[in-house]
Structure 1
Amino acid sequence: MQEIDDNTVSKQAKVTVLTDDIITINGKKYHLVENHENGFDEEKIEERFNTVLDKYDYIVGDWGYDQLRFKGFYDDNRPESGIDNKISHLEDYLVEYCNFGCSYFVLEKENKSSTNKKHHRKNSRRPRKKRSTNAVVHHNHNNKKVHPTTNNRRKRASSSKFKIRKIGEKSK
């Protein structure tokens, strides 16, 4: 594992508290949805925030051993979200990955990325191409004409030289 030099760490985030439940982080507006056990700490967020979190709709900050850590979540209807990154699984995350009874906070981005509704509509796929009726005529091994759109595969398989025998049956 590579050590991180203090000079390579990104600069601090700019956190501004506008009201009790609205803040900005680097100019992006968030709503403080939940502040369990006073987990929200403006100074620590400024120190630890990473711009990678900008892509998420929700940011959860939880405390463990006096360290603040972040986890990003997407809105439930976002196509790029996996099951572990959906905000509906926040409770599971808190139970499984956070210290019991820890302080935490949940920030919701004000202007969430819009979802592409084409991905959510039923039957949004392109219709399949129809096979051409002017297809090339092929010949099977008996020199009979075989049209690719007909069900000649079964006929060819049954007329093959190999016979299927049941287990225990002796070959002739």
Structure 2
Amino acid sequence: MQEIDDNSASKQAKVTVLTDDIITINGKKYHLVENHENGFDEEKIEERFNTVLEKYDYIVGDWGYDQLRFKGFYEDDRPESGMDNKISHLEDYLIEYCNFGCAYFVLEKENKSSIKKHHKRNTRRPRKKRPNSSAVHNKHNNKKPHSNTNNRRRASTSKFKIRKIGEKSK
């Protein structure tokens, strides 16, 4: 039988309220930007906070069915931010994913990570040119390869005539 380490099972975040709008979570300083309907609850944050959230510039905590849940957001100009986790989309998140009128809070990290500039590298190898498979096939069968002009000509000699709506057919 395996023993469970008490420290790992009951790991809680350490939340300290410094002023009305400045708190620390695990030693990192945050500003309480918004506290809608008194959604900020120090004890529940200590219970539910996950260190994964520390990478985000903003942390939003919202309440639904007496449960606190978190969502992380980045500054809009951060390269790692997607459409769904840019802070400019906070209102969309609150409307679409939160209960109407729910209590929530928004924390902004004081020392945000510097914005990294992404330089895309061309990591793909250049493709080797392969002969056109239809041209190779046609060379063996002594047939001409199809061209786009033939396809256009075929389309124009269709047996169907396009008529305007309301025009009587002959």
* TM-score w.r.t. length of structure 2: 0.68
Instruction: Return the alpha-carbon distance in structure 1 between the equivalents of residues 88 and 47 of structure 2.
Output: 28
Q: CA deviation at 1:10?
A: 5.2
Instruction: Flag the 1:125–1:97 CA change in 2: closer, same or farther, 3 A.
Output: closer
Instruction: Return the alpha-carbon distance in structure 2 between the equivalents of residues 60 and 125 of structure 1.
Output: 31
Q: CA deviation at 1:42?
A: 0.5
**Letter of the aligned partner of 1:70 in structure 2?**
F
Structure with greater helix share of residues: 2
Instruction: Flag the 1:47–1:116 CA change in 2: closer, same or farther, 3 A.
Output: same
- For residues 33-89 of structure 1, the C-alpha deviation after alignment (integer angstroms, 9 at most, x for no partner) is 000000000011001101010111100000001110000011101101110010000
Instruction: Return the alpha-carbon distance in structure 1 between the equivalents of residues 96 and 90 of structure 2.
Output: 10
Instruction: Return the alpha-carbon distance in structure 2 between the equivalents of residues 66 and 6 of structure 1.
Output: 29
Provide the secondary structure at the position in 2 that maps to 1:95: helix
Instruction: Return the alpha-carbon distance in structure 2 between the equivalents of residues 162 and 22 of structure 1.
Output: 78
Instruction: Flag the 1:125–1:107 CA change in 2: closer, same or farther, 3 A.
Output: closer
Aligned residue pairs, count? 133
**Letter of the aligned partner of 1:104 in structure 2?**
Y
Q: CA deviation at 1:6?
A: 10
Q: CA deviation at 1:162?
A: 3.9
The gaps in structure 1 that reach 5 residues or longer are 127-152
Instruction: Return the alpha-carbon distance in structure 1 between the equivalents of residues 83 and 32 of structure 2.
Output: 23
**Letter of the aligned partner of 1:92 in structure 2?**
D
* 1:100 lines up with 2:100 in the alignment: yes
1:76-91 → structure 2 map (5 Å cutoff): 76-91=76-91
Aligned to 1:135: none
Instruction: Return the alpha-carbon distance in structure 1 between the equivalents of residues 75 and 57 of structure 2.
Output: 6
Q: CA deviation at 1:125?
A: 6.5
Instruction: Return the alpha-carbon distance in structure 1 between the equivalents of residues 99 and 44 of structure 2.
Output: 18
* 1:21 lines up with 2:21 in the alignment: yes
1:19-168 → structure 2 map (5 Å cutoff): 19-117=19-117, 119=118, 162-163=143-144, 164=146, 165-166=150-151, 167=154
**Letter of the aligned partner of 1:46 in structure 2?**
E
**Letter of the aligned partner of 1:97 in structure 2?**
Y
Aligned to 2:11: 11
Identity of aligned residues (%): 81
Instruction: Flag the 1:61–1:125 CA change in 2: closer, same or farther, 3 A.
Output: closer
Aligned Cα RMSD in Å? 3.1
* TM-score w.r.t. length of structure 1: 0.67
Instruction: Return the alpha-carbon distance in structure 2 between the equivalents of residues 6 and 125 of structure 1.
Output: 44
Aligned to 1:132: none
The gaps in structure 2 that reach 5 residues or longer are 122-130, 158-170
